[in-house]
Amino acid sequence: MTYLQAFLQYEQQLVRPEELRYVFRYARQLSYTDLIMLLNTEISEEDQTFLNMIFQRLLQDEPAQYIVGQTEFCGLTLDVDTRALIPRPETEELVALVLAENEGGYPLRVLDIGTGTGSIALSLAQARPDWQLLATDISADALALAKQNADKLGIRTVAFAQSDVFSQVSGKYELIVSNPPYIADFEKAEMAANVLDYEPHLALFAAEDGLAIYQKISDELTSVLKPNGKVYLEIGHLQGVAVSQIFQQVVPQKRVRILQDLSGKDRMIAID
C-alpha cells in the first residue's frame, strides 16, 4: 500500500479529512514537497501504525492542534494543549490591528486579559520589544502554558499574573487587549464536537449571553486605563452592537468602533 492509498482509506471516514495529512506532515516534520514526493511510495509499517493512531484520535474529534501539540500564530510556534483555547486566525487579525494602530519606539504598558496560550501577549512582545506587557488569566493551568511558551520562545518582556479580569492588576495601562470567553450557553448546540468536547469551557463560554466578561471589563475600565489609553477586544460576530453600547456608556468621550474580520463579520471592538 502506498502512502496515498493509506491516506485516502482513512480520509473518507473523517469529517475533516484534511487534518490527517496536516498532523502527519507536522509530526514527521515534512514540507509540502516532502509529503508529495512520499505519496506514491510504499508506506512503512511504522508509518502505517502512526497513521492509524492519528486516524483514531481524529475519529474521536480530538483537535488536530492538540494531537500535534503545537500551532502557528503570527509567525510564532506555540505549544497547545487542553489547558487553553487553540488560537484562531481571527485573533491574529486583532494582533495585526493593535500593531498597525500603535507604533513602537516607546515603552507602552500593555495588559492582555485572558491570555490563554499567551498568543496575543507574546506576539505583541515579539513585534514590540520595547513594550511592557502583563498577561493575565483566571486559569493557573493556562498561565503555566503561557509561561512555557514564553520560555520556549525566549521572550522576557512579558510578566504573568493569575487574575479575574482586574482583580490582581495594579497601575494604569496605555493599551488593554483581550480575547475573552464570549460564547453564550445557548450556542453549544451549534458547536463542533472538536471544540465542545476538548477545549476548556472556561475560555469559551460566558454568562449573560456571552457578554459577562465585557461587562466586567467595562465596570472597572476607567480605574485601569490611562486617560489617553486604548482598548482592543475580540467579539462574537453577532455582538458588535451590544458590546459597543456597553463601553460607550462607560467612556462616552472615546470613539468606539466595530471592525470586521477578513470574512466580513463583526469581530473586533476598538476604543480610542
Give the chain's mean pLDDT.
Answer: 93
* Residues 78-128: tens digit of each pLDDT: 999 999 999 999 999 999 999 999 987 778 999 999 999 999 999 999 999
Residue 188 is predicted with a pLDDT of: 66
Question: 117: burial class by Cβ within 10 Å (0-12, 13-18, 19+)?
Answer: buried
For residue 118, which amino acid is it?
Answer: G
Percent of the chain exceeding pLDDT 70 equals 99
Mean pLDDT calculated for residue range 247-270: 96
Does pTM surpass 0.85? Answer: yes
Residue 92 is predicted with a pLDDT of: 98
Residue 58 is predicted with a pLDDT of: 96
Question: Could you tell me the pLDDT band of residue 196, with boundaries at 50, 70 and 90?
Answer: confident
Residues of the chain with CATH 3.40.50.150: 84-271
Question: Could you tell me the pLDDT band of residue 181, with boundaries at 50, 70 and 90?
Answer: confident
Given the candidates 3.40.50.150, 3.40.630.30, 3.40.50.2000, 2.40.70.10, the CATH classification of the domain at 84-271 is 3.40.50.150
* Residues 25-78: tens digit of each pLDDT: 999 999 999 999 999 999 999 999 999 999 999 999 999 999 999 999 999 999
